[in-house]
Amino acid sequence: MMRVISFFVLAACACAQPDALMQGIAAYSKGDYPVAERELRKASGPQARAFLALTLAATNRCEDALPALKEAFPTQRLAGLALAQCHLNASRFDEAAIVLAQLPKDADSLYLAARLHMRAWNEALRDLYKVAPGSYRVNQISGEILETQGQFSEAAAEYRKAIEKNPEALSLHFRLGRALLMSTHSPSTFDEARKEFEAELARNPRDAVAHYQIAQVLLAQEKVAEAAARLELALTIEPAFPEALIALGKLRVADKRNDDAIRLLTRAAELQPKSEAVHYNLMLAYRNAGRLEDARKEKALLDTIQKPPDGEFSDFLKKLGEKK
């Protein structure tokens, strides 16, 4: 008789498990974690263990959840996201990066990747200020942060401090020159910025971007021939430099050297197919060269690029633009 009762008890439990699993998953999906945990603890099997681990991770019990999350990953995307989040919470940045690298790139994984890089940046920055507060690197990073905040004069001051401490360090003179250009467009500033870019090139003659920046200064000073020579230098060093290709292509269009312009701008279009500047100037070059059909094609491409995408977010942006 006892054996018969035991059999019916086991059968009832087996029937209840699928119900508990489904109810637990449903509760988890609704964010009702207490009910999800209660039901999932009644169930068994890999799916129950995975969703119980997800529930534990969602309620800040990552260490209890880790074994089952690792078991479920990488076959289950949700387990991978929770595992990455747990590693991130514990400042295990390398482990989080390994997990995220195996996940498909979607809104959730990219959000966690952004948080990972922000946390790693903040931790490294804190250690830098703590370990070497008087180093030129502190002034350099302070200048870079100020640049992102649009405080270019203050950034330039930090770069000057860094240069005083280590005048031979690479990129400091370049960053100072760029900060000066961003802070004001007075004629004296152009000359000062160019000196900094030249100082950078004295330390690294193959800095194509420094040549490009000097070309921009020369263009602002209406020294077109010298600017073109600098752009050619930049492209000799770095042939796949889209900004330099576009700038030199525009100069060739202005000089009616249409074949040269088409060659440069076609290469730029391969590198930056969505660039309005590329297709606009390529359209002009084709038109000036009498290649009207090619010019029409570029105009059609330009219209496609300039046309704003349809959709809810585009409508939202339009409404923002209507406000004064």
Domains and their CATH numbers in the chain: 17-127 (1.25.40.10), 241-306 (1.25.40.10)
What is the pLDDT tens value at each position of the chain, 324 positions in all? 334 334 333 333 444 456 888 988 888 888 888 888 888 888 888 888 888 888 888 888 988 888 888 888 878 888 889 999 999 888 898 999 999 999 999 999 999 999 999 988 888 999 999 999 999 999 999 999 999 999 999 999 999 999 999 999 999 999 999 999 999 878 889 999 999 999 999 999 999 999 999 999 999 999 999 999 999 999 999 999 999 999 999 999 999 999 999 999 999 999 999 999 999 999 999 999 999 999 999 999 888 887 655 555 555 544 454 443
Distance CA 300, CA 320 (A): 28
| Cis peptide, bond prior to residue 309, ω within 30 of zero | no
**Alpha-helix runs per DSSP H in the chain:** 2-30, 33-42, 46-58, 62-72, 77-89, 93-101, 107-131, 136-148, 152-165, 172-183, 187-203, 208-220, 224-237, 242-254, 258-271, 276-288, 292-306, 312-322
Number of residues that this document lists for the chain = 324
Output the DSSP codes for 161-224: HHHHH-TT-TTHHHHHHHHHHHH---HHHHHHHHHHHHHHHHH-TT-HHHHHHHHHHHHHTT-H
